[in-house]
Amino acid sequence: MAKKNKKKNLCADGRLQKSFMFNGKRIFVRARDREELEKKVYEKKLELAENKENHDNPTIEKFFERWMENRRGSVTQATLRSQQCHYNTISMIQVNGKAFKDYRLSEVKAEDIRTIQRALAERKIRSQTINDKISFLSHIFHDALREQYISYNPCSPVRPLKKTEVAARETIHRALTPDETRLFFENAQNSFYYNVFRMAIQTGMRIGEIGALKNSDIYDGAIHIQRTITRKEDGSYCIGTETKTWHGKRTIPLNSAISEIIENQRKVNHILDGNISGFDDLIFKAPERGLLMATPADREIGRICKRTGIEKFTAHAFRDTFATRCIEQGVEPRTLQELLGHSDFGLTMNLYGHVIDDTKEKAMNKLNIAL
């Protein structure tokens, strides 16, 4: 009987064979001698168990890789890049002596997420940015929950940090005063970016939107904002197919000032590019005729500010100045929301509410109700 079994386990090429069941499937292993065979069986069982674990309960790193791959084609490259940056910040944080990326999905508890939250806070990262990163993690775990890798989302019990920073409208968002505006543009007339700056302050458009504006986007007496300059997953820049947000797709009616700026820029393009100026249909380009970028524009603003003594600002201040002048001159906040392309009315009010407070005070001072 023993000889029969020995013969049964012998392959045609003379090697020994052994089989075992794993996950409902028979697995065969072959080797030259019995010692090697037992070693291979042991290693194969370990390999299968690890593969099963990686499939059924992958590490954060493995699941994130699959998660990102599944999102390609359904979200913009700029979104993918942003999510990769969030992950890079979080993945190496040590949680109980182990990098977070090496945790398996089912291992992560709410307290581990709080550990990450505290670690980010210790790096002096803004509370809103930390909340964004935890929200990103929650998105990943929510998808893992939907795919039944885990039974609950460990981010759910974690409360967002209270915002302690000064509101954006008190810091980043500063409008130029009328005197600053006059002085700046008097000294910007010889700048290559003169028309770009004028376009930004007259329309409230972002630099990326101005750089992506095409001649074909101007019709029916309005600018039709369809896209913006964006970043690919690898960090390079390109003309996107969408605006920054869905509500960023909007129309801005032309007036005489905006029409003059566009016509003036078309003349500049003809001088610089000749008859090939319209090959890509872009109206505003960089000096080297590539994509118009915010960083070089901000550097030029800095040079003009230094020369004139104006407090330094960035190109975004033109958008803030446009919004401020609109409110001061009686434009309804809801209309301003549409012109700026804000998705949320609350965002408009948060950023420019202080201007509305000033105009309310002036209105009340002028109010005279006969009794």
- CATH number of the domain that residue 286 is part of: 1.10.443.10
Q: Please indicate, yes or no, whether residues 182 and 323 belong to a single structural domain of this protein.
A: yes
Note whether residue 17 is domain-resident: no
pLDDT at site 137: 96
- Give residue-wise pLDDT tens across range 114-170: 999 999 999 989 898 999 999 999 999 999 999 888 999 999 999 999 876 555 444
Taking CA atoms, 294 is separated from 85, 298, 299, in Å, by: 20, 6, 9
Same domain as 215, residue 93: no
Q: Which of 161, 184, 206 is the last residue of a domain?
A: 161
**Are residues 212 and 156 both part of a single domain?**
no
Is 190 a domain residue? yes
In the block, tokens 């942003």 appear at 82
Q: Which domain holds residue 49?
A: 24-56
Per the listing, tokens 């940056």 go with 85
pLDDT score of 171 more than 50: no
Q: How many beta carbons lie within 10 A of that of residue 215, not counting itself?
A: 15
128 lies in the same domain as 248: no
The answer on 87 and 223 residing in a single domain is no
Is residue 371 assigned to a domain? no
Residues 289 and 157 in one domain: no
Q: Structurally, how many domains does the chain consist of?
A: 3
130, 161, 192 — which closes off a domain?
161
Does some domain include residue 242? Answer: yes
Extended beta strands in the chain, E state: 16-22, 25-31, 94-95, 98-99, 218-219, 222-225, 229-231, 237-239, 250-253
Q: What is the pLDDT of residues 60-107, one digit of tens each?
A: 999 999 999 988 888 888 888 889 999 999 999 999 999 999 999 999
Q: Quick check: 47 pLDDT over 80?
A: no
Which tokens sit at 257? 């000032």
**Cα–Cα distance for residue pair 249/257, rounded to 1 Å:** 22
Whether residues 69 and 94 share a domain: the answer is yes
CATH code, domain carrying 142? 1.10.150.130
Q: Give me the pLDDT at residue 357, please.
A: 57
Residue finishing a domain among 161, 190, 209: 161
Distance CA 310, CA 322 (A): 18
**Do 184 and 287 belong to one domain?**
yes
pLDDT for 327: 82
